[in-house]
Homo-oligomer: A and B are copies of this chain.
């Protein structure tokens, strides 16, 4: 998210869209799932999700700027954690919809 000074007129709609966009990506969903059990540093995350360190760092920055992550520096390492439990609820709801659609399509395919 951009600095406040440049975006004082940004409305809740745009803000909500930015938050959702920060979640709506497979790699970032994987990271969110990883963070479900608490904070992790980049060095733990990027091997776990099978992406480059730089790519992982960028995704974390995206989520950090959107406001859905916290950052904690400890020496060399930087630990990220989920800032809002609502994010997990959103992921869960999206999973419900996805599962429902998947079974519907499977049924349609079987006909």
Report yes or no: A101 in contact with B15, Cβ–Cβ below 8 A.
yes
Count of chain copies: 2
A11-34: CB near B (< 8 Å → 1, else 0) gives 011111111110111100110000
- Interface size, chain A (Cβ < 8 Å): 42
* Interface majority SS (helix, strand, loop, mixed), chain A: helix
Contacting pair B108 A4 (CB below 8 A) = yes
Task: Tell whether, in the assembled complex, residue A4 and residue B93 are in contact, meaning their CB atoms are under 8 Å apart.
Answer: no
Segment among A36-44, A51-59, A73-81, A82-90 that sits at the interface with chain B: A82-90
5 interchain residue pairs of minimum CB distance: A20-B24, A15-B98, A67-B101, A16-B94, A21-B24
- 12 CB-based A-B contacts, threshold 8 Å: A4-B105, A13-B30, A15-B99, A16-B94, A16-B97, A17-B25, A17-B94, A21-B21, A21-B24, A21-B25, A67-B100, A84-B97
Beyond A4-B109, A21-B25, A89-B93, list 12 extra A-B contacts (CB 8 Å): A12-B102, A13-B26, A13-B29, A16-B94, A16-B95, A17-B26, A18-B98, A20-B90, A67-B100, A67-B104, A86-B93, A86-B96
